[in-house]
Structure formats: C-alpha cells, structure tokens
Amino acid sequence: MAEGSTFHEKDVLEESHLLEDFRDEAKTRPVEAESSNPSPALHINLSGLQHPQWSDLIPSSKRFLFFLLPTFIQTKLYPDLLRPVRLHPSAYLDGMRGLAALFVFFYHFSYSSHDVLTAFAGTGKPDEHREFLKLPFIRFIYTGPAMVSIFYVVSGYALSYKPVKLMRNKSWKDLLHTLSSATFRRAVRLYLPCFASTLMILVLVRLGAYDATRGIAYDERRLDQVREFHMPRYRSLWHQITDWAKMIMEFRSSLVLYLTQLGLARLKPLVRILSLVALIVWCHEKDRWEMILFYSGFLLAELDFRRQALAATKSLLPTLDFSLLKSSQRQSLWTALYIFVFLVGIYLGGQPQSHVEYAPGWATLYSWIPSYCDHKQRYWVGWAAILLVWSTSNSALLQRLFTNGPVQYLGKISFSLYLMHGPVTHTIGYASMEFFWRIIGDDTYMTKEIGFVLAAIINIASTIWAADLFMRVVDTPTVQFAKWIEEKCIVPLE
C-alpha cells in the first residue's frame, strides 16, 4: 500500500476485511485446540509474573520468540495448535481478497521505480514500451485499481450473504438483528485497526525510521516514476499528532449497502434482483463506480442463492439449450464459458492508465468509456472484478486457484497486509533498495533490476511477517472487541 493510501484510499480500508459475519454463519473461524496437555511453549505461569525469577526468563523468552513467528510456522512446529478447518463454500473469496492485497502491495512497491501505467506499445513506436511486464494479462499482477475493485465486489458479496439468506428464508427478525449489529460494529471494526496502523506510522516517524530512508524516498533519479508520499517529521510532537489526526478516514459504502438491503428485503427475489440491476445502471449513469461494485456483490450473492435453489430442485439454467448433450458435455461447455469470462476479466483487469492511443485493443476500449466518467482508470477494471468474481463463483475448477493453503493464508492476513505494507515499504523496503543498489550499483538496467528484486524479496517477507503479527495483536482482537462493545450496549431481543 502506498504510504498515502493508508489515509487516502479510504474506501478500500473501509471494506477490505468484511467477511467475519459470513464466516460466523459458516462456522469456519479457526478455533484453538482444547487440549488437556497444551504445548509447553504456550503455557503461561501467571505466578511467575508476580515473583520473577531468573529461571523464568528463559521460558518467557521462548514464548515471546514463538509468538513472533508467523502463524504458518507455529502450526508447522505444533500441528495440534489449531483444529482442522473445513473451508466454507465461498472460501475462494478469501483467497481472491488475499491475492488482491498482495498485488496491491506489488503495485505500490514498484510504481516509484518502474513505469506501471503505460500501455504495451501505447506510443506506436517500435522501440518503446514493449517490455514483457507490460504485456496484456501479465500486467494484471500489479494493476492496483483492479485489486481495489475486487475488494469492493468481494465486500459487497460478503456483506450481503447472510442478509440475502435471511431474506429468502423470510426471517425478518433475524435480518433486523443482523443489519443492526453489522451497522453498529462497523465503525469499531474498521477504525480501530486503521487507528493502530497510522499511530504506528506516527511512532516510526518520531523515532527517525522515516528519516533514515528519506534520501531514497525523494531521489528523483532512482525513483523516477510515481512520487510516493513519505511522511514528514515535524519539529514538534503536537504538530505531528495534529497532522496525523487530520488524515483519519471516513466510510460510507457499507452503510449505503445496508440501507439498500433494508429497503429491498421484503421484495420477491426476482423483483429484488431486477431492482439491483436497475440500481447498478443508475449508479453507472451517475458515475458512482464504488457502488456499482458493491451492488454487484449484492447481486452475485442473490444469483448464487438462486442457483443453489435451482440445483436443489434439479432445474437447469435455461440460458443455453444443451439438452441434446450429455451431462458431462454440458458441464464442460459451461466450464469453458466460465474460464473464457475469467480470462476476459484478467485482460480487462490489466487496464493501463496512460499512452493508450496506439495500444492494441486498449485504444478501442478507451474510446468506449462514457465521457461523463471522471475515474476512467477504474472503469474497465471494475467490470473485470465483476467478471472475475462471477465466473469463479460458478466454477469449482476456478475456485481451486483460491482455496489452496498459501492463498487462503493471504486471505487470512489480507486486511493487515493492506495496512502494513505501506510503513514496511517506507522503512525496510526503501532501506533494502538503498543497501543493494549501493553494493551492486544502479547505473545499468540490469544492476538496478537485480537490486530491486533482492529488496523486493526482503520487503515481501517483512511485510507478511508484520501483517501476521498485526492480525494477531490488533485485527483479530478488534473483531472480538467490537462484539463485546455491542453486547454491552444493545437491548436484548425478546
């Protein structure tokens, strides 16, 4: 995440980690093993806190060092720490969100020293902008706006899953409780992790960590592309604190979605679907790209429940007539369609942001963007996110891309990864680039790229480690704290 995006890409922070309600519904949150013989490494002797002895320092240090290990290493050392977790039906959304967070990280780390905005062959000159990484499909892995759009569609789906289920079951009392609870907890759930992460940045600035990398952060020769915001260090602590306080974000999209769910709740499912389509068209005409994506997530949740209901009655979708084909052949044709749509989404998700006049394909696609759209760089990537989520939700084969262990782990730490990659990049990441470029040199294309790759390896590992710690220390406790606050404040349902 760009340093400034901690504060300025506020909608992403507001909605990038909102699957806890869905996970509660699916009962898939990891549960600590209730072993009668807990691991000695995790056993805490509280009496030792009152009467510390030198002999207690060794096991205490072991526990602390064990805590610092990422969770995937902890579970390798002690497999009985967590019970096996059965993936919920939409676990692929976690994986998509995790990869999107990682790719946003790639975008923000690379766009200061690399041209990630220009289209392949966009200038029409045979010797310009024809690098491998600018090729269509390849550029998807570092196109930040596409990942933001995926966050929004996934969040719209996640926030709508349980409400849609209750609507279809006509559980109006439970629906009211769900919407009320989610709305009440939203501010606590979203603001506290952002407050903690930005406060951490303030502390790092005051300790001089940002001063140590300020030279390379402002080096226009080596970081000659997008100028990344590097937090200044003011002379007075009060000035630093007031400047930080002004940057705290706002949020709105989830609240608009909840209001829409409440307004459409008692409509018949088909009427509700048509109403959502109308809202998406209206938002398109009003250039509200973020609500197009949230409403699309709501719509996809509705379509998933509709598909499940049809499958339960052994009905077939009547869109295409494959009645003369065998069941396996029909399934193969549908799978081919979903893969094709998925690939179209990958292509559109790599939308370049500059020099598209001569770019094959993109010159035409840009001409199709409505003139009233102010955020042209978010237009096609928005439709890409919708296509990617829709095709994946329909294809078990595509879902396997996002349900494997490493990708699910990224989904688990995705919100923390998004919050942490900015400060880690501006400290460890920039320091690593400075270190390797000083040793290897940066006067040729090859030496500069080798230094960047080596720094990227350190930065990625450091960010994942920091995100893992932040998840356990701040993010997960925040979920429980929000629920605790709610329990203390609400009037119980009778």
Quote the pLDDT of residue 56.
Answer: 54
Check whether 361 has a pLDDT greater than 90. yes
Q: What integer pLDDT is reported at residue 255 of this predicted model? A: 87
Q: Residue 102 domain-assigned?
A: yes
Summarize pLDDT for 282-322 with one digit per residue, the tens.
Answer: 999 999 999 999 999 999 999 999 888 887 775 544 455 54
Would 108 be classed as within a structural domain?
Answer: yes
What percent of the chain stands above pLDDT 90?
59
Q: Which residues pair with 398 in a beta bridge?
A: none
Residue 89 pLDDT > 50: yes
Residue 494 maps to a domain: no
Asked if 423 and 303 sit in the same domain, the reply is yes
Residue 229 pLDDT class (50, 70, 90 cuts): confident
Phi (first) and psi of residue 356, to 5 degrees: -110, 5
Same domain, 392 and 271: yes
Query: What would the pLDDT profile of 14-34 be if each residue is shown by its tens digit?
Result: 444 444 444 444 443 333 333
Whole-number pLDDT of residue 54: 45
The encoded tokens of residue 323 equal 């009645």
- In this structure, the answer to whether residues 76 and 224 fall within a common structural domain is no
**At residue 141, what are phi and psi to the nearest 5 degrees?**
-70, -10
Please write the tens of the pLDDT for every residue from 52-80.
454 555 577 788 888 888 888 888 777 76
- Helix runs in 208-268, H state only: 209-212, 214-217, 237-246, 253-264
Q: Is the domain of 54 the same as that of 193?
A: no
Decide if 197 is inside a domain.
yes
Q: Which residue has the higher pLDDT, 453 or 89?
A: 453
| Over residues 149-163, mean pLDDT | 94
Q: Same domain, yes or no, for 360 and 450?
A: yes
94 and 51 belong to one structural domain: no
214 burial (CB, 10 Å; 0-12 / 13-18 / 19+) is middle
* 60 neighbors 47 (Cβ within 8 angstroms): no
Q: Which two tokens stand for residue 479?
A: 């979920």
pLDDT tens, position by position, 394-422: 999 999 999 999 999 999 999 999 999 99
Evaluate the CA torsion angle 299, 304, 305, 311 in order and state its sign.
Answer: positive
- Average confidence score pLDDT of the chain: 84
- 482 shares a domain with 382: yes
* Predicted local confidence at residue 168, as pLDDT: 93
Query: From CA 24, how far away is CA 19, in angstroms rounded?
Result: 9
**Residue 434: inside a domain, yes or no?**
yes
Question: pLDDT band at 425, cuts 50/70/90?
Answer: very high
Q: How many domains does the chain have?
A: 2
> In the structure, what pLDDT confidence band is assigned to residue 10 with cuts at 50, 70 and 90?
very low
How far apart CA 159 and CA 258 sit, in angstroms, is 8
* 290 in Cβ contact with 253 (< 8 Å): yes
Strand partners, 354: 118
CB count within 10 Å of CB 271 equals: 11
d(Cα 161, Cα 93) in Å, to the nearest integer? 12
Whether 60 and 188 share a structural domain: no
Looking at the fold, whether 196 and 226 belong to one and the same domain comes out as yes
pLDDT of amino acid 323: 52
Which residues fall within 8 angstroms of residue 78, CB to CB, at 6 or more apart?
39, 41, 42
If asked whether residues 187 and 318 sit together in one domain, one would say yes
pLDDT at position 21 is 45
**pLDDT at residue 40 is higher than 80:** no
Domain final residue, candidates 65, 84, 103: 84
Both 69 and 125 in one domain: the answer is no
Using an 8 Å Cβ cutoff, are 279 and 295 in contact?
yes
Res 162 pLDDT > 60: yes
pLDDT at 449 over 60: yes
- With respect to residue 148, please indicate whether it lies within any of the assigned structural domains: yes
DSSP for residue 425: I
Q: Are 429 and 455 in contact (CB under 8 A)?
A: yes
The angle formed by the CA atoms of residues 445, 451 and 457, to the nearest 5 degrees, is 135
Q: Which helix (H) or strand (E) holds 262?
A: helix 253-264
Does residue 212 surpass a pLDDT of 70? Answer: yes
> Would residue 388 count as lying in a domain?
yes
Residue 1 banded pLDDT, cuts 50, 70, 90 = very low
β-partners of residue 118 are 354
Tokens of 196: 């903690």
Q: What is the mean pLDDT of residues 147-170?
A: 94
71 plus 196 within the same structural domain: no
Query: Would you state the pLDDT for residue 175?
Result: 92
Confirm whether 440 is domain-assigned: yes
Domain membership of residue 114 as a residue range: 5-30+90-489
Residue with tokens 């994506």: 293
Among the listed residues 140, 31, 28, the one whose alpha carbon sits nearest the alpha carbon of residue 94? 28
Which ranges of 29-143 would DSSP assign to H, the alpha helix? 47-50, 54-68, 71-77, 91-110
CA 351 to CA 378: how far, in whole Å? 8
List, in order, residues 6 or more apart from 92 with CB less than 8 Å away: 392, 393, 398, 399, 401, 402, 403
